[in-house]
């Protein structure tokens, strides 16, 4: 996927729930409120999805782009 396509997907996902897979295997879900050129992400109402269907509420967070492996846009 080209950089332009990735930016378009991020732009279209602002204000919607996205699923983030991070280095180390953590998965976070939240409302994408913004991003920058380094793919740092601002998420609101975020939750860490744990094993056994447990959820850890995180609130508003910034995810450093270097730690992002996959961003799944809304369906």
Model confidence over 61-75: pLDDT tens digits?
Answer: 999 999 999 999 887
Average pLDDT for residues 18-45, to the nearest whole number?
95
Q: What is the pLDDT of residue 1?
A: 58
Q: What is the pLDDT of residue 16?
A: 96
First to last CA, the chain: 18
Domain containing 32: what range? 3-72
Q: Tokens representing 59?
A: 């609130």
Q: Residue 73, SS3?
A: coil
Q: Residue 65, SS3?
A: helix
Q: Which stretch of 5-9, 26-30, 35-39, 68-72 has the lowest confidence by average pLDDT?
A: 5-9
Instruction: Give the count of domains, the chain.
Output: 1
Residue for token digits 């080209």? 2
> What is the pTM assigned to this prediction?
0.89
Tens of pLDDT, residue by residue over 41-61, are: 999 999 999 989 899 999 999
CATH of the domain at 41: 2.30.30.100
């Amino acid at each position: 996927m080209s950089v332009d396509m990735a930016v378009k997907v991020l732009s279209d996902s602002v204000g919607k729930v996205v699923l983030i897979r991070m280095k180390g295997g953590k998965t976070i879900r939240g409302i994408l409120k913004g991003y920058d050129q380094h793919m740092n992400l601002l998420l609101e109402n975020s939750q860490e999805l744990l094993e056994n269907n447990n959820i850890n509420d995180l609130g508003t967070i910034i995810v450093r782009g270097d730690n992002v492996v996959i961003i799944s846009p809304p369906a």
